[in-house]
Structure 1
Amino acid sequence: MLGKRVYNGFLVVAGIALAAFLFCYFTGCTAFAGPLQVAAFVGFAIGVRGSERLKGFSYSLMILSAVSISMYYPELFLKAGSFEFKQLIVPLLQLIMFGMGSQMSLNDFAGVIKMPKGVIAGVICQFTIMPVIGISVATFFGFPPEIAAGIVLVGSSPSGMASNVMSFIAKANLALSVTLTAFATLLSPLMTPFLMKIFAGELVEINFWQMMIGIFNMVILPICAGLIFNLFSRGFRLKRTELAQLLLLVAMIFVKSMISFLTSELAVASLAVSFLIDFLIFAVLPVLATVLFNFFAKGDRKLLENLLSFLSMFGIAVIITIITAAGRDSLLDVGLLLIVACFIHNALGYTLGYSVSKLLRMSEQDCRTIALEVGMQNGGLASGLALEMGKVATVGLAPAIFGPLMNITGSSLATWWRDRIPNQLKTTKH
């Protein structure tokens, strides 16, 4: 930890760099604008860590600094030799989803039985409010078809782990938040392609089955791998219920292979090879990983959590940076309007999610949870799907903007709610 004076020093340097950037920008001296803008964001990112209230914005500010670099020097983030960096997006997303799965268990899905009203309301809000707002905002601003499709894609994606963190900070119903994220993610292979077909089918070509398989590859199977890792990390003597869970997770791999077989011209032999490859990657490798984890880390879950958290944050930053570099020209055309559109999309998600929950007479904690689950989307998944569509430089722009933006707004909203303890918790304390 740095001292308070050091953090304040970074804030002062960041303020000077920002002032110098604005001077250069408005006087046309663009040669130094890029480095000054990056220096300002990095300075603020480090400086705010000295404040309990503001340190939650540090990560978003670091992403903004990375985005600034990729806007000024896009060639650095496009390719190295013949290798295109956009090929890293899917593996990084799979790593993030594996980390998500390793922190979960199938008990998270059992919350559907324990909290049916909250889960049903949350899922319906998730897959109706956001896609409808998405197409409405895109139409209102008159974006080009592929940019508009990216906004709809964000709205059609499930929520991500960020909403769970914000729910914890906001003193919301964390159990409901985790269950909603898990259940919405489980439904995403069906709901996301379906919603894209309905709302964005006239904007870009949507291959329903290809998108479904893509979601299985990028989200469902890596999460299954994480769940398998979680099962075996506690030991290799599984109980009957745990064996049943393992068989269910392996069945998900088979389901993906069957969908591929039924929707393509694969031969039976190709189906078998596809299943075997997926089985080795998403079932066998996680088991081997538990052996290494228990041997080298002695089963230290805290160490694992910190490592996966770092890798997830790093992966998201890299994905956003690559997409920004690839779509730089489009961003220069619609950047400011797209930021405004994403902010409206995000803010209306919070507002309508909370309002609908209130109308259903749900508790304050549940209202906060659903608001955050609806407003915060899995931008990483949307970015991966944009890459699968071959349109990461256009369709992928809205997810790249929405991700950092929702972290800033989500942190702000969660911090504001944190100081306003729900009556339900006050009663519990007394």
Structure 2
Amino acid sequence: MNRLTILFPLWALLFSALAFWRPEWFAGGKPLIVPLLGMVMFGMGMTLTWQHFAEVLRRPGRIGLGLALQYLVMPLAALGIALALQLPPELVAGLVLLGASPGGTASNVVCYLARGDIALSITLTTLSTLLAIVATPLLTWLYVGQQVPVPVGSMLWSIFKIVLLPVALGVAVNAALGHRLAAVKSAFPLLSVAAIVAIIAIIVALNQSSLASVGILVALAVVLHNAVGLAAGYWAGRLLTRDERTARTLAIEVGMQNSGLAVALAVKYFSAAAALPGALFSIWHNLSGSTLAAFWSRRPAPSVSRTRGGSTGLQSGSGQRD
């Protein structure tokens, strides 16, 4: 990756500060978020083949591990952090709802930049969204005591438009013309960085008023919650799969939630205050994810170890190349 790409976190911080100072410069870019993500997903697809997805499906243990971490660690961590910091009830509800939400689409882009297993990342985002129809309301009711219906149909349609369709088109183009498009493919990491920096700036601008009112305890709760997800995903992946690429992917998938869903549900079923953790998380997880992506992008991700005599679903090589 070139120097501009490696400086990803710096660009994200600079444009976040600029958007907070002058939100009117960026807030009008809200309609660009989906097209920007779609463009990046298409570029990611051009780095993949259909074989990558076939290999993911032959490793159900890794998929199950990612989903278990997503829905077991994150909501429980949210409750523990909220109680430890003695947050008021509406903020407890908002943080738990955030923890019970599925993975977000931005995680796929960060995984791509971090040299993770993109096919596994996309699979986990899609399946965690499918599970959200049961898991999100059940876990919120278990920890907070209130039911929150999840609009899983519209969420899946969004994932189809933003993730699955552009990636599939990219894979198809790569299969047909990949050998002729090397120069084009090499430009996508830089385009991805520019797109994510723009998206972060737009999100900051749209949430500027609520961010100005966020207290230090809410900010601390969000940072701790994200850190728990990143650490749990990475070390569980490292210990159980013994594969660095999978560990990176699980860290990002578990640590980056669908904060937009959490905000929408919090406002509808709890209160505006309950939406603050999700609003802040939408910015923080992109900043922390971009920092990790910049760090990992400079380090190849070879397997730590491989099993003897074939794969077991958890311990097996990813087969995906840088």
Quote the residue 1:156 is aligned against. 101
Counting only pairs closer than 5 Å after superposition, residues 39-50 of structure 1 correspond to structure 2 as 49=3
Counting only pairs closer than 5 Å after superposition, residues 137-152 of structure 1 correspond to structure 2 as 137-141=81-85, 142=87, 145=90, 149=94, 152=97
Q: CA deviation at 1:184?
A: 0.5
Quote the residue 1:368 is aligned against. 247
Q: CA deviation at 1:76?
A: 2.7
Quote the residue 1:224 is aligned against. 165
**1:303 aligns with one of 184, 197, 200:** 184
Q: CA deviation at 1:97?
A: 3.5
Q: Distance in 2 between matches of 1:113 and 1:86?
A: 35
TM-score (norm 1): 0.55
**1:396 aligns with one of 251, 254, 279:** 279
Q: Distance in 1 between matches of 2:254 and 2:191?
A: 24
Please give the secondary structure, in 1, of the residue aligned with 2:197: helix
Counting only pairs closer than 5 Å after superposition, residues 236-247 of structure 1 correspond to structure 2 as none
Q: CA deviation at 1:421?
A: 8.0
Residue identity in the other structure for 1:86: K
Please give the secondary structure, in 2, of the residue aligned with 1:160: helix
Deviations 1:312-336 (A, max 9, x none): 3333223222222222232122264
**2:221 aligns with one of 318, 341, 356:** 341
Q: CA deviation at 1:61?
A: 1.2
Please give the secondary structure, in 1, of the residue aligned with 2:48: coil
Q: Which runs of 5+ in 2 are unaligned?
A: 307-322
Counting only pairs closer than 5 Å after superposition, residues 96-111 of structure 1 correspond to structure 2 as 96-111=40-55
Q: Distance in 1 between matches of 2:83 and 2:223?
A: 15
Q: CA deviation at 1:231?
A: 1.6
**Structure 1 residues 350 and 69: alpha-carbon distance in aligned structure 2, compared to 1, 3 A threshold:** closer
Q: Distance in 2 between matches of 1:338 and 1:148?
A: 12
**2:212 aligns with one of 311, 317, 332:** 332
Q: Which runs of 5+ in 1 are unaligned?
A: 3-48, 80-84, 169-173, 236-293, 426-430
**Structure 1 residues 194 and 403: alpha-carbon distance in aligned structure 2, compared to 1, 3 A threshold:** farther
Residue identity in the other structure for 1:88: L
Quote the residue 2:138 is aligned against. 198
Q: CA deviation at 1:216?
A: 2.5
Q: Is the 8 A contact 1:78 1:86 kept in 2?
A: yes
Q: Is the 8 A contact 1:86 1:322 kept in 2?
A: yes
Quote the residue 2:25 is aligned against. 76
| Coordinate RMSD, CA, aligned | 4.2
Q: CA deviation at 1:228?
A: 3.1
Q: Which has the larger radius of gyration?
A: 1
**Structure 1 residues 330 and 131: alpha-carbon distance in aligned structure 2, compared to 1, 3 A threshold:** same
Residue identity in the other structure for 2:19: S
Deviations 1:71-109 (A, max 9, x none): 222233334xxxxx4333333334343443444344333
Q: Percent identity?
A: 22
Quote the residue 1:405 is aligned against. 288
**2:121 aligns with one of 177, 181, 185:** 181
Please give the secondary structure, in 2, of the residue aligned with 1:185: helix
Q: CA deviation at 1:129?
A: 1.8
Quote the residue 1:288 is aligned against. none
TM-score (norm 2): 0.70
| Alignment of 1:133 onto 2:77 | yes
Q: Distance in 2 between matches of 1:213 and 1:207?
A: 11
Q: Is the 8 A contact 1:387 1:396 kept in 2?
A: no
Q: Distance in 2 between matches of 1:305 and 1:384?
A: 33
